[in-house]
Structure 1
């Protein structure tokens, strides 16, 4: 059985998929009531699972008429994706940012689930058991090499 965070994430992603604009606007308190949880649980899900690295733009307005707006940011063409990868990775990249990029590419169907799992396995702290900053530099080189290979037609 999935936990409450997974259920909230799944619910929001379903709404985003059915939205013609690729945007969902919700009220934190209404969503918390729907899932019988505290509003901070909603904040947690949005701040950890709907990040820019994962392909989402989140706008929040607090107060009585406040809302949270989540918009899916789609990657356009393969060429643009290659530029995005080159810009995002740079000379070094931490594990969280690398995983966010992989997630975004998988969600946009530029990587298969299997390819994404293999890349994640190769760039983990455990696989690259060396000190910083060398680990982030090697992770960047590995990630670039794998993504350039997979994203070249």
Structure 2
């Protein structure tokens, strides 16, 4: 069974896809009411599932007329996305950051589910039994090497 975070994420992604604009604006309290959860649950979903690494930009305005704007970042070519991700990895990659990147590549259909599983296994902290910050540097290097391969094959 899916948890509430998965359900909220799915709902927001569906609203984004059906939107005629390039973004959606939501009120945290309204979404929380719809799913009968606390507003902080909405914050959690937005902060963890709608990150730049996953291909989203989030803006918020506080106050009475406040809103949260979620915009899907779409690049024109797959190679542009890969190049942007590689540049983002230059300073290393945490486990969650790397996972978000892999999920975005999967969402953008740049890699298959099988490839995503292999990448995630290779960059997992249980595979890279090293101390920080070396582990994050090695994780980024492995991911960059794999992305160069994907980028070369997609051209």
Give unpaired runs (5+ residues) of structure 2. none
1:128 pairs with 2:149: no
Distance 1:68 1:91, change over 3 A: closer
1:14 pairs with 2:14: yes
Q: Which residue of 1 aligns with 2:113?
A: 113
Aligned partners of 2:110, 2:99: CA distance in 1, in Å? Answer: 14
Is contact 1:91-1:141 (8 Å) kept?
A: no
Distance 1:22 1:112, change over 3 A: farther
1:94 pairs with 2:94: yes
Aligned pairs, number: 153
Aligned partners of 1:127, 1:106: CA distance in 2, in Å? Answer: 21
1:51 pairs with 2:51: yes
Q: Which residue of 1 aligns with 2:148?
A: 148
Tell me, what secondary structure is at the counterpart of 1:87?
helix
TM-score computed with the length of structure 2 as normaliser:
0.91
Aligned partners of 2:86, 2:28: CA distance in 1, in Å? Answer: 36
TM-score computed with the length of structure 1 as normaliser:
0.92
Is contact 1:25-1:67 (8 Å) kept?
A: yes
Which consecutive aligned stretches of 4+ in structure 1 deviate over 3 angstroms post-superposition?
none
Q: Which residue of 2 aligns with 1:65?
A: 65
Aligned partners of 1:32, 1:97: CA distance in 2, in Å? Answer: 26
Aligned partners of 1:150, 1:63: CA distance in 2, in Å? Answer: 44
Aligned partners of 1:109, 1:128: CA distance in 2, in Å? Answer: 26
Q: Which residue of 1 aligns with 2:30?
A: 30
Deviations 1:61-92 (A, max 9, x none): 11111111101001321331232132011152
Aligned partners of 2:58, 2:85: CA distance in 1, in Å? Answer: 21
